[in-house]
A and B are shown apart, each in its own frame.
Chain A
């Protein structure tokens, strides 16, 4: 019987994923890749995951990856904010932490595959490459978060919930008497459970005052002072503390001069977005592309906008959108899909 490592988060989705694989005849081993320090937050997740494992009668292990997570996710998260970006740590965490350590567990326990409760699928394409495909539940689709997975990782990955809706998953959970049914979905970045990113950055930077500077308009006129570029994100309107007579939005952040540029809503829209640090999934590479038609999500909850993709140098692409997109934010990821919802690749927005 094939063995599979299922990443258990303590939530209903991963519990149902484990249950479904067990029903299919897999020998399931539950693993929680723990990235948070004890006493900080999320006390109950390991207990919930343990309860799921006990219910299913499967072995369960917690792997403590706190130091690795701090090195590879939290530190870059802080630097990214200090560099005027708005990072998305989850897209990095999946390949750099979650999959690496689940595959470590797979090697340790002699499992062939790893699985999670993400709403997405893995497909093997005719060109021999693996790619993530959008989940059947369009509201819950998590393919965006998975675009940086490598070919080696995808070759060993199962997503049992890819063809299911959240409602179906909840129904399976209550039928299987999985105790976490009905629990709300987690939304926040896991290591900042209260959602206060600016306070987190303040706590993790020594010279926080050196990031303060001026609000300026697009012509460079100083409109006021701010207490740190890391408090702002593109498209932000609330909390600027500026009385300008008309609605003002953060349109860009200039880390070198510590300027936060403020403008009208219209100036948030752009037709061209560039990306760095690419990951290619469905195609062997993105280097020689010119005018490749794609649909692009520029943030997790973006529905996607048609664009053409053109390579503009080593590990960089230009996305030219058919219609202007709002608030493309440096640090966030742009994920490129084909017309059937297969992830072609993605990268981190530079501007």
Chain B
């Protein structure tokens, strides 16, 4: 099997597993308990928080553990909106190609009376900071722009947007679920107030993540309960997962200098190979993208059928983000970068980890090429394109 869907989730790393095991076995204490077993758990949790903070260039108090990216996004958006509401500010700026954890939270805020501006994304999959600037109003309380897109991997001008927000005194949130552990991120230099992180995207366990909250920002709670997470996020801590996340992040961040160049080179090789398939097109900017992200459209190919054929050949890939496959609607991200409905349905996302080898890249390229040929051979749409009943778009 070749696993090429690392934007969906990643293999749990050995160091993460080993960091977790004690807390799943003998070290099962509650960090709030006063006896030795509990206090050892507290010490381990503090150590994990410190490790994570140092991997991100943050202060440990800025790291709040959550159940993952979706919770972090919800918390950031709903709490920032609540703060804005208190000041009479009910306008939020975001982009049209955010993850659904952001888009649907914004929809819910909209139904509560917030005004939402979703800035359009350019065809290269990069939002222009100028457009964000122009969307900001007097009553804007929050700007939320993802660090890197989860489907097409394009990197957003976070520093520029952050500076604009800073100048205007507006909270800036970034969903960095796809970026953390893959790109060097130093919060002492990133002008970001709130940042969502998920462990299972960098070889940590599922069901755990964090929200970075810059010191000095008093964020209202999402849930009420005990005093865990500085009273901000109640509930007994998921210590095994927190320890796993810390170990995975530390390892991932340490490896970035070696892996990112190597993975980027393999990514570019795959992009080069897939570009040779007639009537195909890369989605998103070829350079400003995550090291492991390859996303293509193939004219006359139905994306989900392509996933099926690749699976038959032992390759795990995705036709959009995993949360949207099965709904059979075209990817909102591909629509946002200007693909039409039909082309958007022909998307293939291959996301590589550092485990990938050059041989595997060539196998993937071959398998995709063969599968595209097979599907075009049986596709009613391709027939219409070939006999001129319908114009080619790619």
Q: Which residues of A contact B (CB under 8 A)?
A: 34, 38, 46, 61-64, 66-68, 71, 100-101, 104, 107-109
The answer to whether A67 and B341 touch (CB under 8 A), given A38-B327, A61-B304, A62-B328, is: yes
Q: Are A104 and B379 in contact (CB under 8 A)?
A: yes
- Cβ of A108 and Cβ of B378 under 8 Å apart? yes
Q: Which residues from chain A contact B380 at a C-beta distance below 8 Å?
A: 68, 100-101, 104
Per the bound structure, the CA–CA distance linking A108 and B302 in Å amounts to 11
- CB <8 Å contact, B308 and A108: yes
Interface size on B, residues (CB 8 A): 19
Residue pair A64, B378 in contact (C-beta under 8 Å) = no
Find chain B residues with CB under 8 A from A101 CB. Answer: 380
Does B272 touch A at the CB level, under 8 Å? no
Q: List 18 A-B contacts (CB under 8 A).
A: A34-B328, A38-B327, A38-B329, A61-B304, A62-B328, A63-B302, A64-B328, A64-B329, A64-B330, A67-B341, A68-B380, A68-B381, A71-B390, A104-B378, A108-B305, A108-B308, A108-B375, A109-B308
Interface string of B331-351 (1 = CB under 8 A from A): 000000000111001000000
Residues of B within 8 A of A63 (CB): 302, 304, 328
Residue from B309, B345, B375, B380 having most chain A Cβ neighbours under 10 A: B380
Instruction: Give bound CA distance, A38 to B345, whole Å.
Output: 14
Residues of A within 8 A of B330 (CB): 64
A100: chain B residues at CB < 8 Å are 380
Contacts of A62 in B (CB 8 A): 328
Q: How far is the CA of A104 from the CA of B330 in the complex (A)?
A: 19
Closest CB pairs A-B (n = 6): A67-B342, A107-B378, A62-B328, A100-B380, A64-B328, A38-B329
Q: How far is it, in angstroms, between the C-alpha of A67 and the C-alpha of B335 when the chains are bound?
A: 14
Question: Which A residues are CB-close (under 8 A) to B375?
Answer: 108
- Residues of A close to B342: CB separation below 8 A: 67-68
CA of A67 to CA of B342, assembled, Å:
6
Most B C-beta atoms less than 10 A away, residue of A64, A68, A100, A107: A64
Q: Are B345 and A64 in contact (CB under 8 A)?
A: yes
B-chain residues with CB within 8 Å of residue A68 when the two chains form the complex: 342, 380-381
- A68–B300 Cα distance when bound, in Å, is 11
How far does the Cβ of B276 sit from chain A's closest Cβ, in whole Å? 24
Q: Which residues of B contact A64 (CB under 8 A)?
A: 302, 328-330, 345
Distance between A165 CB and nearest chain B CB, rounded to angstroms:
34
Contacts of A71 in B (CB 8 A): 390
Nearest neighbor of A97 in chain B, beta-carbon distance: B380
Given A63-B304, A68-B381, A109-B308, 10 additional A-B pairs, CB 8 A? A62-B328, A64-B329, A64-B345, A67-B340, A67-B345, A71-B390, A101-B380, A104-B378, A108-B375, A108-B378
